[in-house]
């Protein structure tokens, strides 16, 4: 597979049913195992996905993918109304990494979630990568979840968030195997 593409011809769009196999192959290659591709499949089919985007070349090849799934506030009181989602996983074909594709799908995803009225986005990922998109481990420390540590990061998309934290949340059922 050629590792050249024309960035200006890359389109970021919502996943379509015909993308299912291409997404599975991409996610499996990015993680060098099928666990995360299985997670995407389960999230999609249990109705937990809030947004799923792909980055596609002008020739229709899927080079990048990101999924965002519903996270549910579980505490009574402040924060119950917050719309929270989780970014996981994000994948780029190994031979196309470090060329801005991951950033394209993540930024497009966060922009669309903001337009959809989402308040808060969580991620479990490299602390050297996600802060460039506004993710912050300090904000995530105010979110009680099965995850902790500096890999657990959060970004607020609305001003409503800070006043409603701390909060306790539950992830979609398919995440239980990652706890
Ligand atoms: C993480 C991933 C999606 C990033 O996509 P990408 O298209 O390679 O990233 P971009 O080109 O937008 O950004 C490149 C930058 O990210 C950094 N980066 C990429 N992967 C990183 C990682 N795992 N840890 C830390 N930094 C990382 C690069 O060093 C580079 O930094 P620089 O801008 O300072 O040079 C991609 O590397 C991938 O698919 N990795 C395997 C799957 C994975 O680990 N997903 C994240 C957890 S859900």
pLDDT single digits (tens) 109-126: 999 999 999 999 999 999
Is position 178 within any domain?
no
Percent of the chain with pLDDT over 70: 98
Report the residue count for the chain: 179
Is position 101 within any domain?
yes
Give 70's pLDDT tier (boundaries 50, 70, 90): very high
Average pLDDT, the chain: 94
Question: Using a 6 Å cutoff on CB, does residue 102 contact ligand 1?
Answer: yes
Is position 179 within any domain?
no
- Tally the domains of the chain: 1
Please tell me the residue having the least CA distance from ligand 1 atom 41: 30
Place of tokens 């995360």: 36
Is position 124 within any domain?
yes
> Residue 113 belongs to a domain with what CATH number?
3.40.630.30
Place of tokens 């993680």: 31
Is position 97 within any domain?
yes
Is position 2 within any domain?
no
Q: Which domain holds residue 30?
A: 7-173
**Which pLDDT score is estimated for 2?**
58
* SS3 at position 55: strand
**Which pLDDT score is estimated for 78?**
76
Question: Using a 6 Å cutoff on CB, does residue 90 contact ligand 1?
Answer: yes
Q: 60: buried, middle or exposed (CB in 10 Å: 19+, 13-18, 0-12)?
A: exposed
List all residues 6 or more positions away from 8 whose beta carbon is below 8 Å from its beta carbon.
Answer: none
Nearest residue to 94 (alpha-carbon basis) of 28, 173, 163, 149: 28
Q: Locate the ligand 1 atom nearest the alpha carbon of residue 103 and give its number.
A: 12
């Amino acid at each position: 597979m050629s590792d050249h593409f024309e960035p200006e011809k890359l389109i970021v769009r919502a996943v379509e049913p015909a993308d299912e196999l291409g997404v599975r192959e991409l996610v499996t290659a990015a993680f060098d195992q099928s666990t995360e591709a299985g997670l995407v499949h389960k999230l999609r089919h249990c109705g937990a996905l809030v947004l799923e985007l792909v980055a596609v070349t002008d020739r229709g090849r899927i080079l990048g993918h990101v999924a965002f799934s519903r996270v549910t506030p579980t505490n009574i009181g402040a924060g119950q109304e917050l719309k929270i989602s989780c970014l996981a996983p994000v994948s780029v074909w190994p031979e196309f990494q470090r060329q801005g594709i991951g950033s394209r799908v993540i930024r497009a995803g966060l922009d669309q979630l903001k337009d959809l009225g989402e308040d808060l986005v969580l991620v479990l990922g490299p602390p050297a990568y996600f802060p460039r998109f506004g993710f912050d481990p300090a904000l995530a420390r105010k979110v009680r979840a099965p995850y902790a540590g500096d890999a657990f990061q959060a970004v607020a998309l609305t001003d409503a968030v800070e006043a409603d934290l701390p909060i306790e949340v539950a992830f979609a059922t398919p995440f239980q195997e990652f706890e």
